[in-house]
Structure 1
Amino acid sequence: MSSLPVTPRLMTPADVPAAAKVGRDALGALYPVEFQPSTDEEREAQRVRSETRVDHLRQTDPEGAWVAEAGDGEIVGIALALVREDVWGLSLFGVKPGLQGQGIGGPILDGSLRYAEGRRAAIILSSTDARAMRRYFRAGFQVRPCIAAAGAINRSRLPAGLRARTGDVADDAELIAAVSRHVRTAEHGADVDAMLRTGGELLVVDGRGWAVVRDGSPMVVAAFDDAAARDLLWSCFAAATPGAAAHVDFIGQGNDWAVEVALDMGLALTPDGPIFTRGDLGPLAPYLPSGAYL
């Protein structure tokens, strides 16, 4: 049990800055140092991105947005979930560092999970935190192991003739929705706009797939075929600034095309947090899901 008097409740607009900070701090403790913001400018950009994410989902899915409030009014936990075309996903779950293991996370996760009741499918992109993985499995989810890739982008390795172009969220909406339904049985909808508002760039291979890239790393890649997915991932790397490093997260079963591209770029492979699923989510391939928007 928690040593703090903690109240789980739905998030309000006023909670967003503090809740987003809890999420940043909880996830930041799990990230390699090379992917941590190192300047005031980078930290401010990260703050804006995290608050935009939290407030976007609080507005689109208020029933899935929960916080844990301590007796002194401090927000010490966040659980953030979304539903798209009857597919539920957990966008964010975290407890303030130093307070984990005190019973704070369970009630707010339960609140977000109630939002999943009766949905035809559900997905969680997990961190490597053992307590989180235990909770997800005990909630009736199946495990899908994943790997990640990271390292410096070597522009001399980029192939010629990439076909991806800069997309337009309005003009390409039909393709984006169709591809999302193909890989995960549900469109991304307004979440694409949210990705673009936080520094993402939309890439499209006409008729075959789309991606959003930020700083040379894919936020999401979805395609009808492996060849288009390869082109999109290479195009993400090509969009990086000189000297940038890239990370490719949640490479799951059926996505060896992403492993091939990552190795050809010279990135190193490491174990990643697994994906947990319930119900029929389709092939989840060719697909690199978004950590924030699944």
Structure 2
Amino acid sequence: MSPLPAVRLLQPADVPAAAAVGGASLSDQIPVALQPTTPAERAHLVRRQQARVSHLLATDPEGSWVAEVDGEIVGVALALVRDDIWGLSLFGVRPGLQGQGIGRLLLAAALGYAAGRRGALILSSTDPRAMRSYARAGFAVKPALAAAGAINRARLPAGLRTRAGDVEADRELLDAVSRHVRTAAHGRDLGAFVAAGDRLLVLDGRGFAVSRRGSPILLAAFDDEAATDLLWSCLADGAPGAPVHLDYVTQGNDWAVAVALEAGLSLSPDGPVFVRGETGPFAPYLPSGAYL
């Protein structure tokens, strides 16, 4: 009989192990073309994963949980709250240990942080066990698409109007746009993106995006035209021939599908988005897997 896991709050010393478990649990969800191939790229990914865990521990210590067996971390669940909207940032169990009840205990702990909140969000993987758990927790499902590939740079439009953004100088716009699409500002999470090396792009008065080597890691706008400009600007930000990806394209974001097809990307089914309570229109919006 397997020993029962101990589920407890994450501590600073747990960050490397928790990040490693979270990364391993999601590794099979990452397309081969987007996985790191060099030692430098793998080291950068490890630093980014650890920075994500450290950031959530700093902002939401009551939502940061790990599962431990025989003194070894085997699962992690990180949840955040922004403007009274709860979100599940990271949830995973070490490969080979799924299906033993560890994830159920972790999810219950993370959902305790959602109690009494006016809304809740989960961006799911395609793991059937995860989707079952979220549906049984009372969340409604929003099916989603993904798009990936190398863009046809000959189709990049001229006259894009975005500029480099500044998290503090553009705070009023950033907060307003986030609240428009999901009823909650991203707050300090945008600074975490920039600190990790991502680029903040702004379309004055209309929206913003976060680009990671040409992939839109987060995009929010007041209207579809602005969102289209921001998405093309992200794609233009990548290196020629390098693969890019769009994730969690839900209903109401056909502008993103149109851009992806025009750019030469391939569409595929993505893990769904699960919502509960007040979560806004979710459009024009490409949410962040890390910070929703």
TM-score by length of 2: 0.99
Q: Deviation per CA, 1:22-56, whole angstroms, max 9, x where unpaired? A: 11111112211111111101101100111000110
Q: Does the residue aligned with 2:147 lie in a helix, a strand or coil?
A: strand
Q: Does the residue aligned with 1:178 lie in a helix, a strand or coil?
A: helix
Give, in whole Å, the separation in 2 of the partners of 1:74 and 1:199. 31
Give, in whole Å, the separation in 2 of the partners of 1:150 and 1:135. 28
Equivalent residue, structure 2, for 1:84: 82
Q: 1:235 aligns with which of 229, 233, 236?
A: 233
Q: How does 1:1-294 map to 2 (within 5 A)?
A: 3-71=2-70, 73-294=71-292
Q: Does the residue aligned with 1:75 lie in a helix, a strand or coil?
A: strand
Q: Does the residue aligned with 2:160 lie in a helix, a strand or coil?
A: coil
Task: Name structure 2 gaps, 5 residues minimum.
Answer: none
Task: Name structure 1 gaps, 5 residues minimum.
Answer: none
Q: Does the residue aligned with 1:29 lie in a helix, a strand or coil?
A: helix
Give, in whole Å, the separation in 2 of the partners of 1:91 and 1:161. 35
1:243: how far off?
1.7
Return the letter of the residue paired with 2:233: S
1:4: how far off?
3.3
Give, in whole Å, the separation in 2 of the partners of 1:83 and 1:118. 11
TM-score by length of 1: 0.98
Give, in whole Å, the separation in 2 of the partners of 1:176 and 1:60. 18
Q: Does the residue aligned with 1:159 lie in a helix, a strand or coil?
A: coil
Runs of 4+ displaced beyond 3 Å: none
Aligned residues: 292
Q: Does the residue aligned with 1:196 lie in a helix, a strand or coil?
A: helix
Identity percentage of aligned residues = 65
Q: Deviation per CA, 1:188-244, whole angstroms, max 9, x where unpaired? A: 000000011112100000000000000110110000000000000000001001221
1:153: how far off?
2.0
Return the letter of the residue paired with 2:28: A
Give, in whole Å, the separation in 2 of the partners of 1:235 and 1:254. 20
1:74: how far off?
1.2
1:282: how far off?
1.1
Give, in whole Å, the separation in 2 of the partners of 1:23 and 1:218. 22
Give, in whole Å, the separation in 2 of the partners of 1:219 and 1:136. 23
Give, in whole Å, the separation in 2 of the partners of 1:284 and 1:196. 23
Give, in whole Å, the separation in 2 of the partners of 1:44 and 1:155. 29
Give, in whole Å, the separation in 1 of the partners of 2:282 and 2:258. 17
Return the letter of the residue paired with 1:33: V
Return the letter of the residue paired with 1:32: P
